[in-house]
Structure 1
Amino acid sequence: MSENVTMTAAPGVVKTHQKTGFGRTLGLGSLLAVAVGLVVSQGVMVLMLQGAGIAGLGFIIPLAIGYILALTYVASFSELSLMIPRAGSLSSYTEVSIGHFPAILAVFSGYIVVAMFALSAELLLLDFIIDKIYPGVFPPMSIGIGLLAVFTVLNLMGIDLFAKLQSALAFIMVLVLLALGLSALGGMANPHTAGIDLTSDWNPLGTGVFALVALAIWGFVGAEFVCPLVEDAKQPERNIPRSMSLGVTVIFVTIAIYCLGALFYIPADQLAGSPLPHYDFAQAVFGETGLTFLAIAAITATCSTVNTSLAAIPRMLYGMAKNGQAFPQFSKRSRTNNTPWVAVLFVAAITGLPMLIMGDDPDAIGLLLISAAIAWLLAYIITHVNVMVLRRRYPKLKRPYKTPFYPLPQILGIAGMIYAVYYASPAPELNGQIFGAAGMVLGLVSVIGVFWVKVVMKKKLFEPEPIEKVLNAK
């Protein structure tokens, strides 16, 4: 079913009716499941516990700052996605703000490349944790590759099935993490570890705890993955902003309880130094039974992340292809399920490739993940810039959602993201490797972007498209 949307534009821009290419099937619950489901991954479960180990109770400070910064990008994405409700998401916003080259750079560096390593690392981490819980039961990488194949097929079958799966996965995942955290707080299964006093030195880093903002913010990135689904959303003007705001709030509460519970059972230095602190946590709270509990949390978290990525990222590529910013094959949709099937298969392929190449070297994937994540924050910075530029260029354009207290959230968001990039390295000795790898990623994407815009599209790099062109796109 198609839906008509009326846009009231600035002087000289006529009202248009645009028809979306997808059906309106995703309600608030499904979109909330997307916002939560991508963010809360195994990688986040590990990083948040390590941060709690470094700062103790003081970790609540960078965690709260990360939550505030997340609300700033939620506001910017809400304003842009409802003003320009296209599946291309960030590419569509950026091309009418600062041009095609930054549009391609933002999406490929901030999403396609990051997802390539993030999903691979997540699937490999699931293999590692399952092998630790049930040693020798499954062949190496069989769980990761198998889940990737299953969710690729399921996403090819259509958005309805995706929504039902995502809602169930996100609910189970959050429920399990909250149950683990609340059980730990109350000492319901096993008594709290003797000798741990959280109040004696609650903020051991002093003002240095602010350096952990860079780590804490990784616990909130990704809620904007609901935006590429705007053409599938019911009542997007209401449900897109609410799903993201509620999503990051649920994440903040869940992570805070989860980390606080861990501090009652695991010594801080052990949390900070463990490669699998969630394994130690579950075992300390519930004993051997806790490992089955952890297996459920790990599987649902990974499935939720993979499922969301295979739904949202192909729609980014679909939108870019419709705008001429990517291969036209990505705009192909299946006749039966209306799914961008070429894009889904492409995302699945680039996810599986690093697993096959670096399956025996998870540390290398972790390094590449941190490096590419710098580009994710670059995409957020571009998003904030888009809002500010479009406010000046089209002040009278209808905006179903307007950022409260504009432009303070955008200014705060840009400053916070730059700060997080500067402190992205978990250890100073890794700065060279991390920023070198990030530079290579951004450099390669930039070269490809320049070639595509100048040679294929025959456009200027930083010349914005008229907004009516995007709003009238079929």
Structure 2
Amino acid sequence: MSASVSVTAEAPAEAGKLRRVLGLGSLLAVAVGLVVSQGVMVLMLQGAGIAGLGFLIPLSLAFLLALTYVLSFSELALMVPRAGSLSSYTEVALGHFPAILATFSGYIVVAMFALSAELLLLDLIIGKVYPGLLPDMSIAYGVLILFTLLNLLGIDIFARLQSALALVMVIVLLALGLTAVTGSGSEPALAGGIGADWNPLGAGVLTLVALAIWGFVGAEFVCPLVEESKRPERNIPRSMILGVTVIFVTIALYCVGALFYVPREELSGSVLPHYLFATALFGEAGKVLLVVAAVTATCSTVNSSLAAIPRMLYGMAQNGQAFPQFKSLSRRYGTPWVAVLFVAMITGVPILFMGDDPDSIGLLLLAAAVAWLLAYIICHLDVIALRRRYPHMHRPFRTPFYPLPQIVGIAGMLVAIYYVSPAEELTLKIFLSAGAVLGLVSLIAVFWIKLVMRKPLFRPEPIESVQ
């Protein structure tokens, strides 16, 4: 994977405008770096523990579902090249209410749940490897504050950091997987029995698609950066397609490698299965490698989120769908500083209330998955609606085999939401958590659209209004 950052002087900032400084390497780093988080490292190994090698089946299906949303986002991002991303697409496809719901459910709510879980995991893993080194939650808040400040300093700083973080993270995970699979580390503890019952769940393994798809959500975070991308018609689709492909290979090797060294029941039942894998493979040295992977994964995810989500809010404010303060750009660095601070704040609040409770992490991640999949369904509906409304409009990227990817994507994601948790006792809590937040967002959206914007809830805007 290239980690080069294309930041040149050829894209001077215009007053009130974002600057085009991001090349393919930087965008690929965003696509990979946001997705491969500590939460992914944990959930993927838990899935491998539940299903053994059979987990490769739902993992492959999740990869195909990820390609469907990548195709839809590529078409929409280049047809409506705005920082608002999903809100801008949905505004002209389905109306303002679905636009606000999609963006808040898929990104603002996810920031509250998934980023908080990510920071909690980092605090837990460092506390496990170096007990008593720092007070509880100091690492979580320290990372959040650090990357908030760095993202306030401009997109150039973000790009350099993101490329380095993503490269180190992928190298570490590939090293873990390849070392385990090739047997170049310590002697595999379970090599003799790994293939004895390769798919213990049988057809039931398909219920793990929902868990597996969490390993691929987030590649579309390159889309809000379209106004800061060079050659977006080429680099936006390529970065996402390459990104989810790199992720699939990395996760597959990582999961198979873990099954050589850690019993399935330990992987599925542990809050920190990546800790078990690293220490079983490399002993004490594995702890250091794991800390490197954990730090780079969490920092990469937080860094990407604090770059992309504020630009979504910036775009929504430009469309009148959010507070006008989110349009504020730093005079010196050209960053949407109010939006950056807002995202940092909503990320820190759940950490404050949940503290270092390990049991809350799985709930946060799966509740985030429900909200994110809902946003993907709306994205597919956007493509279908805009193809019907503007059949002859120029599209720099057109989804191959339309509408098959959209139909498959919608159906697959509805099934994934239905089977969101392999543990039935968690399902109700997940739907209650996600439902409560989404219900509140829906209520606020209705009042905002009717009383502030004074527009219909479901009347699409002309596409000229966002181009």
Q: Report TM bin, short chain.
A: over 0.9
**Aligned with 2:244 (options 248, 253, 258):** 248
| Matched letter for residue 159 of structure 1 | I
Give the aligned partner of residue 32 of structure 1: 28
Q: Residue 325 of structure 1 aligns to a residue in which SS?
A: coil
345-354 vs 311-320, greater mean Cα deviation: 345-354
Give the aligned partner of residue 65 of structure 1: 61
TM-score (normalised: structure 1): 0.94
CA deviation after TM superposition for structure 1 residue 20, in Å: 8.7
Give the aligned partner of residue 95 of structure 1: 91
The 5-angstrom pairing of residues 321-470 of structure 1 reads: 321-470=317-466
Distance 1:125 1:212, change over 3 A: same
Q: Residue 219 of structure 1 aligns to a residue in which SS?
A: coil
The gaps in structure 1 that reach 5 residues or longer are 5-17
Distance in 2, matches of 1:121 and 1:385, equals 30
Q: Tell me the number of residue pairs that the alignment of Structure 1 and Structure 2 aligns.
A: 458
| Matched letter for residue 282 of structure 2 | F
Kept in 1: contact 2:100–2:321 (CA 8 A)? yes
CA deviation after TM superposition for structure 1 residue 365, in Å: 4.8
CA deviation after TM superposition for structure 1 residue 320, in Å: 0.2
Kept in 2: contact 1:156–1:339 (CA 8 A)? yes
Give the aligned partner of residue 119 of structure 1: 115
Q: Residue 264 of structure 1 aligns to a residue in which SS?
A: helix
The gaps in structure 2 that reach 5 residues or longer are 1-8
| Matched letter for residue 208 of structure 2 | L
Give the aligned partner of residue 108 of structure 1: 104
Kept in 2: contact 1:3–1:20 (CA 8 A)? no
Kept in 1: contact 2:62–2:209 (CA 8 A)? yes
Kept in 1: contact 2:96–2:459 (CA 8 A)? yes
CA deviation after TM superposition for structure 1 residue 367, in Å: 1.7
Give the aligned partner of residue 185 of structure 2: 189
Distance 1:271 1:20, change over 3 A: same
Distance in 2, matches of 1:452 and 1:415, equals 31
Distance 1:366 1:203, change over 3 A: closer
Distance in 1, matches of 2:387 and 2:15, equals 25
Give the aligned partner of residue 154 of structure 1: 150
CA deviation after TM superposition for structure 1 residue 303, in Å: 0.3
Q: Residue 337 of structure 1 aligns to a residue in which SS?
A: coil
Give the aligned partner of residue 277 of structure 2: 281
437-446 vs 317-326, greater mean Cα deviation: 437-446
CA deviation after TM superposition for structure 1 residue 109, in Å: 1.3
Distance in 2, matches of 1:88 and 1:137, equals 41
Distance in 1, matches of 2:422 and 2:37, equals 19
Distance in 2, matches of 1:117 and 1:102, equals 21
CA deviation after TM superposition for structure 1 residue 60, in Å: 0.7
Q: Residue 214 of structure 2 aligns to a residue in which SS?
A: helix
Give the aligned partner of residue 222 of structure 2: 226
Q: Deviations over 1:345-394 (max 9, x none)?
A: 11111111111121143423532432232111010000000000000100
User: Which contiguous aligned blocks of 4+ residues in structure 1 show a shift greater than 4 angstroms?
Assistant: 1-4
Distance in 2, matches of 1:445 and 1:327, equals 14
Distance in 2, matches of 1:362 and 1:290, equals 22
Distance in 2, matches of 1:401 and 1:448, equals 34
1:217 paired to 2:218: no
Q: Deviations over 1:318-352 (max 9, x none)?
A: 00000000000000000111000000011111111
CA deviation after TM superposition for structure 1 residue 138, in Å: 1.0
Distance in 2, matches of 1:281 and 1:366, equals 19
Distance in 2, matches of 1:201 and 1:425, equals 23
Distance in 2, matches of 1:47 and 1:365, equals 10
CA RMSD of aligned residues (A): 1.6
Q: Residue 22 of structure 2 aligns to a residue in which SS?
A: coil
Q: Deviations over 1:404-445 (max 9, x none)?
A: 000000000000000000000231122222212222112111
* Identity of matched residues, %: 72
TM-score (normalised: structure 2): 0.96
